[in-house]
Amino acid sequence: MFDIQKVRADFPILSQKVNGKPLVYFDNGATSQKPQIVIDAIVDYYSKYNANIHRGVHTLSQLATDAYEEARLKIQKHFNAKQNYEIILTSGTTESINLVANGFASILQKNDEIIVSALEHHSNIVPWQMLCEQTGAILKVIPMDIHGELIMSEYDKLLSDKTKLVFCNHISNALGTLNPIEYIIKKAHEVGAAVLIDGAQACPHLKPDVQALDVDFYVTSAHKMCGPTGVGMLYGKEEWLRKLPPYKGGGEMIATVTFEKTTYADLPHKFEAGTPNICGGIAFGAAIDYMNAIGFDAIAKQEKELLEYGTKRLQEIDDLTIYGPEDLNRKASVISFNVDGIHPYDIGTIIDKLGIAVRTGHHCAQPIMDFFKIPGTIRASFAFYNTKEEIDIFVEAVKRAITMLS
C-alpha cells in the first residue's frame, strides 16, 4: 500500500513553512527533496567513518571503501549494468556527458556527424558543440513538432554512415516529453552509431534497464532521485569505456607513474581521478534503496494521478496554454505552461509568497522556448510525495496571481 502521509513524513523539509505558508514543493525537476534515510547516510559517514577510500589499510578507510563500492553495486543492480565497473561515479549528469564528449574528441574526424534532439537541456547541447568545434564534426538536430515531440521520420533521414554518435534525453526537463529512446537506439545502431541517453529527468520516475535498452551510454544525477547533489553516474558499455581515453589525470586513475610515462588504472578507476564525493556516493546508494523500497510501480501510479489531476485543474483557467504532449501517457509528471499576457516570472514570484515553489524561465532549454516563441514557462514538476491537495493550493494561487496581474 502506498501511504502518502507516511511517505511525506520521511522528508523533513516538507513539514516546514515558507513565507508563513506550508511549503508546496513543485520544483522536483530541478532537484528532489531528500528522505531522512539519505540525510542519515551523509551524517553517518562524516560522524562515524570519514576517511579516504581505496588507499588506506586502516579500519576507517576500509569501512569507507566498502560502503562506497557497495553503493556502486546498488547502482549497477538498479540499472541492470552487466558489470559493476561499467558504472562510473561522477559529479552528475553534466560531468558524465562531458566525459564522453572528451573521449570522442580522439575518435571523431572532420565531417563526421553527430545527432542531438531539439528537446535537450543545455548540458546535452553545449559539450557536443564544443566537440564539433574541436574536431570538425557536424552537429545535426532531430526536429520537434508543436506537441513537443520528436519527429521520428526526420530522424530517420538524418541517419547515415557518417553518423557516429546520437544523444537524446529520456524525458525532457522542460516539457516532460517521454522520448522513444528504444527506437532511437535501434536505428542508430543500424548505421553503426553509438548512443548516449540523458536520464536525469527519467530516473526519478522509472527504472531504466540499460541492457534491455542496449544503450551505449546512460547518464543521470543522484539529486534528481532523492539523493544528494554533486554526485551521479555514467553507465558505459565495457567496450566503449575501454576505447575512451581518461577524462582527467590525477590520483586513483593511474596504475604506474614515472616522469617518462604513466599507465592508467583499469575500469572504473580510469575515469575517477582524485578524491570523489564519498559520502555522496554512499548516500546515492541509500536513495536508490529508498526508492526501490517504495517501488517504481507505486511511484508511477501516484505521479500519473498527479499529472492527470493537475492538468485537469489548470485547464479550468482561461487563457492558459500547456506545452508538451497532449497524450499524458507520453509525458512525465511535468506541466509547463503560460498565461496569455503575463510573464511567467511574475506568476512565479507571487505564488512563492504563498509558499509554492515552481520553476520559471527557459529551464536551460532555450531552443525549445525559441521554437514556441516564448521567453519561458512556469513549470510545475511533481514527485511521488506530492498530493492533490497541494495541486489545489497551487491552482488557487495561480488564479490569485492572475487576478493581481491582470
The C-alpha atoms of residue 252 and residue 249 are separated, in whole angstroms, by 9
Q: Are 341 and 365 in contact (CB under 8 A)?
A: no
The C-alpha atoms of residue 199 and residue 201 are separated, in whole angstroms, by 6
The C-alpha atoms of residue 24 and residue 387 are separated, in whole angstroms, by 9
The order of strands in the sheet holding 334-339 is 320-323, 334-339, 377-381, 359-361
The residue annotated as part of the active site, out of 132, 203, 279, 364, is 364
- Quote the cell numbers at residue 57: 589499510
Any catalytic annotation for residue 364?
yes
The C-alpha atoms of residue 372 and residue 344 are separated, in whole angstroms, by 14
**Residues acting as catalytic residues:** 364
